[in-house]
Amino acid sequence: MSQEGVIAKERFEQATTYDEYVERMQVNQRQMTEFTDEIEISDEDIEWWNQQPKINVLVLTYDGCGDALYNIPVLAKIARHCSNIDLRVVQRDENLDIMNRYLNKGTFQSVPAFIFMDEDLVEIGNLKERSHEMTEVFEREGIRLRRSLREQFKEPWRAEMARELRDVVANRKRYD
């Protein structure tokens, strides 16, 4: 049973390389370059990647994405050391046909979306946004921060909530 490629070969080859992507960035260009330069990848990881067969990687993103700024440079640094990795980076909003096949939790157009493919552009794996461990940290710290903010600002927030509740009824307001 043959599997279909994620993207047509011509479209993949026309997608921007990492360096071209960075060169065209409108936001975070300097930081992206700095982060890529400063990242250190272990010799063990480089050796592992070099032992893999050819890997084509398509990354969907947008310039202002914080997760992209911190995560794409890691793969870019690996690709610089591994000639068997062909890394292409494209704008999410210009590639919604692909993005919509890789929705995070079936709903969110989360980026960066890393799509790893074999030499025939058949998917071998994907990663959305960030590692599972880092997502757990974000969620745990987000809860901690929300609790802290609620306590710190409870009086003004209560007053604001009372005002908003009144406004909803008085103006027949609906949140969609």
CA torsion through residues 95, 114, 129, 62, sign: negative
Q: Please state whether beta strands 55-61 and 123-128 pair in parallel, antiparallel, or not at all (unpaired).
A: unpaired
| pLDDT category of residue 134 using cuts at 50, 70 and 90 | confident
Average pLDDT, the chain: 92
Query: Can you read off the two tokens belonging to residue 81?
Result: 């050391």
2 pLDDT above the threshold of 50:
no
Prediction pTM value: 0.80
pLDDT at 131: 77
Query: Can you read off the two tokens belonging to residue 114?
Result: 């890393």
pLDDT at 118: 97
pLDDT digits (tens, 9 = 90+) for 145-166: 888 988 899 899 888 989 999 9
pLDDT digits (tens, 9 = 90+) for 91-130: 999 999 999 999 998 888 999 999 999 999 999 999 998 8
Segment 137-141 mean pLDDT: 84
Distance (Å, rounded) from C-alpha 16 to C-alpha 96?
16
- SS3 labels along the chain: CCCCCCCCHHHHHHCCEHHHHHHHCCCCHHHHHHHHHHCCCCHHHHHHHHCCCCEEEEEEECCCCHHHHHHHHHHHHHHHHCCCEEEEEEEHHHCHHHHCCCCECCCECCCCEEEEECCCCCEEEEEECCCHHHHHHHHHHHHHHHHHHHHHCHHHHHHHHHHHHHHHHHCCCCCC
pLDDT at 1: 37
- Distance set, CA 33 to CA 23, 28, 126, 155 (Å): 9, 9, 24, 44
- Within a 13 Å sphere around the CA of 93, how many CA atoms are in the beta-carbon half? 4
pLDDT digits (tens, 9 = 90+) for 67-79: 999 999 999 999 9
